[in-house]
Structure 1
Amino acid sequence: MLKNLDPLLNADVLHALSSMGHGDEVVICDANFPADSVARATVLGKLLRLDGADSARAVRAVLSVLPLDTYVDAPAMRMEVVGEPGTIPIVQREAQAEVNTAEGRDVPFASIERHAFYARARKAYCVIATGELRGYGCFVFTKGVILAPDSPAPASPR
């Protein structure tokens, strides 16, 4: 056990998150997502797992160590409900609350159509599967930077 690290974060997940660079993307997905086949196409090339966690809990753990990108318009994205792109299920509302808490500000999810989400996930750095049984517990997060205190402030999104 390590101090100040969420105990949900295992060594494989921590290594992947630490290895990611600015602008790389991580996918957190529910138990219904084709995680293994999609993960094989990612930069990491293998699936990471947080089986005991629901989506919101996994988002909280990951964002406890991963800064979101401030240089892009949408550093947090969610899979759209098929046929109802404006619907935001409870699972996504719970994850939205975790994102806002982790960032200390509102960072609204952008939505991505289901098949476009799959395509984007295949280009991600890595995929983390959760034990989330509710549908649409699937998210993409873009890694930002942690700047030294004497560094210039990041620019606003484009």
Structure 2
Amino acid sequence: MLKGIPSILSPELLKVLMEMGHGDEIILADGNFPAASHTNRLLRSDGHGVPELLEAVLSLFPLDTYSEHPIALMAVVPGDTVETSIWTTYEGIIGKYTPPRIEYVDRFPFYERAKKAYAIVATSEKALYANIILKKGVISE
């Protein structure tokens, strides 16, 4: 155990966050996302939801300040009547660290972007459209 490191972050996830460079992307995926078929670097965070994982990751992870939208969410498919209140939760968490600059990406372009991401973290999140992409920035200290 280490001081100041959220216990929800596994050693494997901490290693991946450290390995990532400026502009690399990581996906925190809900339980329905086809994570295993969209990446070569799959991390499991079973039993956890995306909000608590997002909070822990953002406590250590700088978002890209050079990108107009360092955060992306999977847009709701037209005609799908799904409650997306989890997005409001995300905005609240993100707002603790930086102004939320979020883009909404259609389903299949989101999947293509996922294939290029540095890693995907599969969670047990039950909310629909709860997938989120984070683009890593730099630490300027």
Instruction: Name the TM-score, length of structure 2 as normaliser.
Output: 0.93
The match for 2:132 is 139
How large is the RMSD of aligned CA atoms in angstroms? 1.6
Q: Equivalent residue of 1:120, what SS?
A: helix
Aligned length: 140
- Deviation of residue 96 (structure 1)? 1.6
Which blocks of at least 5 consecutive residues in structure 1 are unaligned? 40-44, 149-158
* Residue 88 of structure 1: how far off its partner (Å): 7.2
Match of 1:127 among 100, 103, 120: 120
Contact kept in structure 1, 2:6 and 2:56, CA below 8 Å: yes
What does 1:1-158 align with in structure 2 at a 5 Å threshold? 1-39=1-39, 45-83=40-78, 89-103=84-98, 106-148=99-141
* Distance across 2 between alignment mates of 1:131 and 1:138: 11
Q: Distance in 2 between matches of 1:136 and 1:127?
A: 15
Larger mean CA deviation between 49-58 and 112-121 belongs to 49-58
Larger mean Cα displacement after TM superposition, 88-97 or 69-78: 88-97
CA contact (8 A) 2:41 2:118 kept: no
User: In structure 2, what is the Cα distance between the partners aligned to 1:140 and 1:146?
Assistant: 19
AA aligned to 1:109 is: I
Distance in 2, matches of 1:101 and 1:121, equals: 26
Point out the structure with max Rg over C-alpha.
Answer: 1
Report the secondary structure of 1:110's partner residue.
strand
d(CA) in 1 for partners of 2:140, 2:45: 29
- CA shift, 1:55, in A, is 1.3
Cα pair 1:29 1:127 within 8 Å, conserved: yes
Shift of 1:108: 3.1
The residue type paired with residue 125 of structure 1 is Y
TM-score by length of 1: 0.84
For 1:88 and 1:119, the matched residues in 2 are separated by 24
Cα contact 2:38–2:114 (8 A) shared by 1 = yes
**Percent of aligned pairs sharing the same letter:** 37
Q: 2:56 is paired with a residue of what secondary structure?
A: helix
SS in 2 for 1:102: coil
